[in-house]
């Protein structure tokens, strides 16, 4: 059996929506698989070279986990070609795309006939939270909660430009989660959740200036992570009057700015001159998902 799949990357949190709000974007992991005598992962993209080419590949390991879940010991060997336009360890959900690729590999090779809800449940259980896997799977903006089951809502996210500001350095999610507090007081939790609640309402109404304003007020993660993403505060100052708002994308270090609809490329290039070590890319929302 031959098959191909294309999975969009995602940004998550969008300020105060920690581990629960995500948005699919138009950078992709593409995987093509065909049956072979041995397992072989071929990385077409330079950034993926150096990743394991055999059964220690992350995508294979996810497929094996899925096979085990369904009581299957062996997955028929395949040659798998993987290409990715998603920068790794930059807060753009690259590992969520690889998780979904592994689930789809098992689904196709073992003819599991998994539906969207099955894939979402498996991917969220593996990742621990739905904010990257849900938008990559379903497309668009997904707000989700996971505890034994995934409860989620998909919302339109339109009439705004998304500018990803991607630094050269990587930041592992594990390190970016280690700086977070173990607990928040009741008073801080109430305050933090009210900021998140109004952020969700702002997305529902596509009120981007309100969402941008609330991004500054997040109490869940950005106050702790900003020391790992030094350009975040500099960007906040520089872009203050120019965009609706900006946030640390996922666990960072990418920062995403929400700007006026059809923000001209020439303006973005001009802004980039002030932060030349970062790549500035205008991204689109992917509404299709995997």
Give contact residues for ligand HSE (rule: CB under 6 A).
12-13, 18-19, 129, 131-132, 173, 176-177, 221, 250-251
CA pair distance 43, 53, nearest whole angstrom: 8
Other C-beta atoms closer than 10 Å to the C-beta of 37 total 8
Residue with Cβ nearer ligand HSE (19 or 286):
19
Q: Minimum distance between the CB of residue 138 and ligand HSE, rounded to whole angstroms?
A: 17
Query: If you search the block for the tokens 């498996």, which residue do you land on?
Result: 122
Q: Minimum distance between the CB of residue 13 and ligand HSE, rounded to whole angstroms?
A: 5
Whether the Cβ atoms of residue 265 and residue 166 lie closer than 8 Å to each other: no
- Residue 225 known to bind ligand: no
- Residue 94 known to bind ligand: yes
- How far CA 76 is from CA of 34, 35, 106, 186, in Å, comes to 10, 7, 9, 51
Residue with Cβ nearer ligand HSE (13 or 43):
13
Whether the Cβ atoms of residue 49 and residue 31 lie closer than 8 Å to each other: no
- Residue 173 known to bind ligand: no
Whether the Cβ atoms of residue 131 and residue 12 lie closer than 8 Å to each other: yes
Residue with Cβ nearer ligand HSE (35 or 177):
177
Residue with Cβ nearer ligand HSE (104 or 131):
131
Q: Minimum distance between the CB of residue 77 and ligand HSE, rounded to whole angstroms?
A: 31
- Residue 110 known to bind ligand: no
Q: Minimum distance between the CB of residue 17 and ligand HSE, rounded to whole angstroms?
A: 9
Q: Minimum distance between the CB of residue 173 and ligand HSE, rounded to whole angstroms?
A: 5
Residue with Cβ nearer ligand HSE (12 or 57):
12
Instruction: Taking each helix axis as running N to C, give the angle between helix 186-204 and helix 208-215, from 0 to 180 degrees, rounded to the nearest 10.
Output: 160
- Residue 92 known to bind ligand: yes
- Residue 89 known to bind ligand: yes
Instruction: Taking each helix axis as running N to C, give the angle between helix 94-109 and helix 58-69, from 0 to 180 degrees, rounded to the nearest 10.
Output: 50
Q: How far is CA 139 from the centre of its chain?
A: 11
Nearest of 3, 4, 2, 1 to residue 29 by alpha carbon: 4
- Residue 109 known to bind ligand: no
Residues annotated as binding site for ATP? 87-97
Residues annotated as binding site? 87-97
């Amino acid at each position: 059996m031959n098959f191909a799949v294309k999975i969009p990357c995602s940004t998550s949190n969008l300020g105060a929506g920690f581990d629960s709000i995500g948005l699919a974007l138009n950078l992709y992991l593409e995987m093509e698989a065909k049956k072979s005598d041995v397992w072989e992962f071929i990385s077409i993209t330079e950034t993926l070279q150096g990743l394991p080419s055999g059964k220690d590949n992350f995508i294979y390991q996810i497929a094996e986990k899925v096979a085990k879940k369904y009581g299957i010991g062996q997955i028929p060997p395949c040659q798998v070609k993987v290409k990715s336009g998603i920068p790794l360890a930059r807060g753009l959900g690259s590992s969520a795309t690889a998780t979904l690729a592994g689930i789809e590999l098992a689904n196709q090779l073992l003819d599991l006939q998994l539906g969207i809800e099955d894939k979402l449940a498996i991917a969220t259980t593996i990742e621990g939270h739905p904010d990257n896997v849900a938008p990559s799977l379903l497309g668009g903006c997904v707000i989700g909660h996971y505890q034994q089951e995934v409860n989620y809502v998909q919302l339109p996210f339109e009439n705004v430009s998304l500018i990803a500001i991607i630094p050269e350095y990587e930041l592992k999610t594990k390190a970016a989660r280690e700086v977070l507090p173990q607990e928040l007081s009741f008073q801080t939790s109430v305050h933090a959740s009210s900021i998140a609640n109004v952020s969700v309402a702002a997305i529902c109404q596509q009120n981007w200036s309100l969402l941008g304003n609330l991004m500054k007020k997040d109490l869940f993660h950005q106050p702790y992570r900003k020391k790992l993403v030094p350009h975040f505060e500099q960007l906040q100052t520089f872009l203050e009057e120019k965009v609706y708002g900006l946030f640390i994308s996922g666990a960072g270090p990418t920062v995403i700015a929400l700007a006026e609809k059809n923000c001209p490329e020439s303006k973005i290039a001009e802004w980039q001159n002030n932060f030349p070590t970062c790549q500035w890319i205008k991204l689109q929302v992917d509404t299709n998902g995997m």
